[in-house]
Structure 1
Amino acid sequence: MEYKDVPTKADVERIAAFRQPGCVSIYLPTGTTPPEADRARIELKNHLASAVRALEALEVPRARIQAVHAEAERILDDRDFWRYQSRSLAVFLDGELAETFRLPNRLGTSCEVADRFYVKPLLRALTFPQTALILALAGNSVRLLHLTPDRPPERVDVPGMPKDVAAAVGLTSVSGRSPDGRIQGSEGQKVRMLEYVQAIERALHPLLANSTEPLILAAAEPLVGIFRGAGEHPRLVPEVIAGNPEDKTDEELATAARGVLDRLYAGKVAELRETYESRIASGTALVDLSDIARAATFGAVESLIIDIDRRVPGSVDETTGAITLAPEDEPGDYGVVDEILRRALGSKAKVYALRADDVPGGGAAAAAVRFPV
């Protein structure tokens, strides 16, 4: 059994590509306290019973139904898993695949059974993961914190991390230090700080090289400028938590970092809207759902913005991309937007799940295209 906290784009693409009878997609709100986890566990058990009935109604082979039930029971019985939850839980089962994702976003409850998985709710966590690394950097201390949406910040133990400037440059208590351990004198101070920052970067490199999370710096000048100038930091957030981080607790740094992330994401949304509006004006972006469905069918979608909350009942023709609208959702039919999303993911398009007010054109979706269709 594979448990993940936040899906990667590759995870979503892989799950969206499954096509066979008996795919079960379950979403439910959870929480970080034991009573919340117990309620979520009971809700998942109820969803499982509904899924089994739906699978039987669809005449899915009995062996596959039993395999789905067995996989779900393993999740229900895993006490360690239920001990650590986030805001929502996504479960995907088909008798061969069994995956869960503990999501930082608050999602509604649903149980869907069809010939494919329901992936649209996953996209919000992928668009705005609400996780980050915080580097609290001062002359006399350094700490790395991991920020997640619902848990207290966790200190990350980094092998080889110097504890302060003096340790990084090999100073002793009788070599240029005052009784309280602070380096004295301005001459050479920035050189020592640079050596300190370089030592920190060497220690952080193995961790940051494999991380996809934003890096938020908490520091005061001149360490801010020295850190920024000391090397490449592709995931370093422009905004800094200013001031001496030694004056802030881990929780205070986490609160400040969440504000930084909110402003970072708001800026990204504004930039995305501006880019799309320009492309719509030039004819290289689409807002009509019929045009977007056709472009997605032929692999022309370069990036896609969807309204995370809106469902458009209907279907999309497998070969032409033509839309057939329906008055309401049919059992096993996830609608037009989710099918457009699935096809766009299949052609490696970038996908953004936003709220209605942020979707360019005001419709259910907008798409930038690689070529006209």
Structure 2
Amino acid sequence: MLYIDTPTLQQFKKLNSERARACVSIYLPTTPLTQDIDASRIELGNLVKNAMSQLEELSLDKGEIAAIGEEFDDLLEDDEFWRFQAHSLAIFATPTKIRTFRLANKLNATVEVADRFLLKPLLRAITFPHDALVLALSENAVRLVEVFPDLPPQEIKVPGMPSDAASANNRSTINDRSAKRRITGSEGQKVLLANYARQVDAALRPVLSGRDLPLILAATQPLDSIFRSVTSITSLADETITDTNDRSTDSEIATSAQKVLDGIYASQIEEFNATFEARKGASRTTTDISDAARAATFGAIETLLVDFDEVVHGTIDEESGAVTFADEGPHTFGVVDEIMSRALASGATVLAVRKPDLPHDASLAATLRYPI
């Protein structure tokens, strides 16, 4: 099983706004296979040594450095914690607090010490989740399946979920067209299916609460349109899986779901690229880090795409947005991360993407609210 606790957007923004004299960010590749996790623990120990060396270069009280070291020691020795992992682990530590997030994404090993956290890799997990929930819904059966990028899918038991449309309506069948029934014919059947769909929706809501995963519907008409007309679930994907049925295995459902997820990702990138090209002539785009820093400082960025693997070090002036590039060290930070931070603060949409998805092999790309 994949153990995931991806931060919500609100949690991400809270981390994004945090400032301290020493903020340690570590990203670590892990494995959900408990018997193979020791290699990740050893690698974390090496990354912590790197972080502690950087901390010693700062004018910190020895007690603050020791506090961070103790937090990491406790984490490394927590056997129960290491039993339950996913594909990556994000760790954020200050002298007073340590936070961890287990992620489905495979991220590169990274350590950063600055006065703020390195969050761009974490944004990838929020921007484009590689796992999803699939509601396989038909008149005769319903199941909720969680799908993962590199592990077998898993059915989730939902308390209060009706087993089928007939039992949801306290009937032996919903296809009885006898005139003795109060609700008959195709219109009557739609009423019964709508009641079934509402019960499914009500059962799902507590399970989905607090989870940011997209929900993909696997259904055919008329249940597809009926469920969409009654549901209150905002994470429901626009595209429906129509090539599965009650006899489809969870693996077959997962295969179809990944195609939907790929489509969601591709459509977001395609929409951004179309807007980017349309605004080029009006000076309302940029792929230049210095220009993007200035635009973010003055709230001009509407949508920002960033390469989630690359880290460009330096500083950005708080008032002018001027960038000073520099080598990695505890007195610098990821400038693209800071651009992302300022863009988010002004209400911009920010997406972490792969390098090939960015125009001109850039580190970032932005569409602007107005020319700069």
TM-score by length of 2: 0.87
Alpha-carbon deviation of 1:93? Answer: 0.7
Aligned mates of 1:93, 1:291 — CA distance in 2: 31
Structure 2 vs 1, CA of residues 57 and 130 (structure 1 numbering), >3 Å: closer, same or farther? same
| Other-structure match for 1:142 | 142
Q: Do structure 1's residue 311 and structure 2's residue 311 form an aligned pair?
A: yes
Secondary structure of the structure 2 residue equivalent to 1:113: strand
Q: Which residue of 1 aligns with 2:272?
A: 272
Report if the CA contact (8 A) 2:55-2:330 is conserved.
no
Task: Note the C-alpha offset of 1:146.
Answer: 2.6
CA distance, structure 1, for counterparts of residue 208 and residue 98 of structure 2: 30
Q: Retained in 1: the 8 A contact 2:116–2:333?
A: no
Q: Identical aligned pairs, as a percentage?
A: 45
In structure 2, distance between residues paired with 1:274 and 1:124: 21
Is 1:276–1:360's contact at 8 Å kept on the other side of the alignment?
A: no
- Verify the 8 A CA contact 1:23 1:92 in the aligned structure 2: yes
State the partner residue of 1:352.
351
State the alpha-carbon separation in 2 of the partners of residues 201 and 11 from structure 1: 26
Structure-to-structure mapping, 1:169-318, within 5 angstroms:
169-172=169-172, 188-208=188-208, 210-231=210-231, 233-318=233-318
C-alpha contact (below 8 Å) 1:27/1:111 kept by paired residues: yes
Correspondence for 1:180: none
How far apart are the structure 2 equivalents of 1:33 and 1:172? 45
Read off the aligned partner of 1:260 and give its amino acid letter: V
What's the CA shift for 1:352? Answer: 0.9
Offset at residue 332 of structure 1 (A):
4.5
CA distance in structure 2 between the aligned counterparts of 1:319 and 1:186, rounded to whole angstroms: 66
Determine the structure 2 residue equivalent to 1:24: 24
What do you get for the CA RMSD once the two structures are aligned? 2.8
1:104 aligns with 2:125: no
Change (3 A) 1:159 1:278: same
Going from structure 1 to structure 2, the CA distance change for 1:318 and 1:189 (only over 3 Å counts) comes to: closer
TM-score, scaled to structure 1 = 0.87
SS of residue matched to 1:245:
coil
Counterparts of residues 149-168 of structure 1 (less than 5 Å): 149-168=149-168
Whether the 8 Å contact between 1:6 and 1:129 is mirrored in structure 2 is no
Q: 1:289 to 1:198 in 2, by over 3 A?
A: same
- 1:29-48 residue CA offsets vs partner (Å, 9 max, x unmatched): 11111243211111112222
The 2-side partners of 1:365 and 1:50 are apart by: 28
1:309/1:349 CA distance change after superposition, 3 Å = same
Match for residue 337 of structure 1?
A: 336
Paired residue for 2:180?
none
Q: In 2 relative to 1, CA 74–282 (structure 1 residues): closer, same or farther, beyond 3 Å?
A: same
Deviations 1:155-207 (A, max 9, x none): 3333322111210111148x959xxxxxx997844443233223222323444
2:90 is matched by which residue type in structure 1? Answer: A
- One-letter identity of the residue aligned with 1:357: P
Are residue 75 (structure 1) and residue 75 (structure 2) matched? yes
Contact preservation (8 Å) 1:4, 1:100? no
Q: Which string of whole-angstrom CA distances, capped at 9 and with x for unpartnered residues, describes residues 9-66 of structure 1?
A: 2223222323222211111111111243211111112222232232223242111112
Given that 1:112 and 1:332 are in contact with CA atoms closer than 8 Å, whether structure 2 keeps it comes out as no
Q: Are the aligned partners of 1:28 and 1:40 in contact in 2 as well (CA < 8 Å)? A: yes
> What secondary structure does 2:37 align onto?
helix
1:364 paired with 2:369, answer no
1:123 alignment partner, SS class: helix
CA drift of 1:99 comes to 0.7
Letter in 2 for 1:339: E
- Decide whether the 8 Å contact of 2:58 with 2:330 is kept in 1: no
Q: CA deviation at 1:244?
A: 4.9
Matched position secondary structure for 1:116: coil
Shift of residue 145, structure 1, vs aligned partner = 2.0
Quote the Cα distance in structure 1 between the aligned partners of 2:142 and 2:158: 10
In 2, Cα distance between the equivalents of 1:165 and 1:322?
Answer: 62
The CA deviation at 1:150 is 4.2
Which stretch shows the higher mean deviation, 342-351 or 268-277? 342-351
